[in-house]
């Protein structure tokens, strides 16, 4: 088990539906720690239950794909998001279309 913060982050990440993404900062904001985007990234990197907690649906604030350790890394993350229907503009997620609006 992680800290209360990481467990909160994982709980929010589990709510991101297929075809949508959240940003690290967005999850930090939802968890009540708006300055903790990097801590969200650390939590995603240590995700103990990848099938249950879809860390591939968490992206940078500009839509960039960052830090994915499964499969072939970023290319696997992109392929998974495309398979789920996430919209891209070039190499970045189109956040206007595909960003999850939260709770």
Q: List, by residue number, the catalytic residues.
A: 55
B/e letters for 64-81, b = 16+ CB within 10 Å, e = fewer, are ebebbeeeeeeeebbebb
Residue 41, helix vs strand vs coil: helix
Structure tokens at 73: 């890394």
């Amino acid at each position: 088990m992680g800290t209360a913060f990481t467990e909160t982050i994982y709980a929010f990440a589990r709510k991101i539906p297929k075809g949508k993404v959240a940003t690290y900062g967005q999850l930090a904001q939802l968890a009540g720690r708006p300055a903790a985007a990097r801590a969200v990234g650390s939590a995603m990197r240590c995700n103990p239950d990848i099938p249950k907690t879809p860390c591939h649906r968490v992206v940078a604030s500009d839509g960039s794909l960052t830090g994915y350790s499964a499969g072939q890394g970023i290319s696997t993350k992109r392929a998974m998001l495309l398979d789920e229907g996430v919209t891209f503009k070039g190499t970045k997620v189109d956040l206007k279309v595909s960003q999850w609006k939260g709770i």
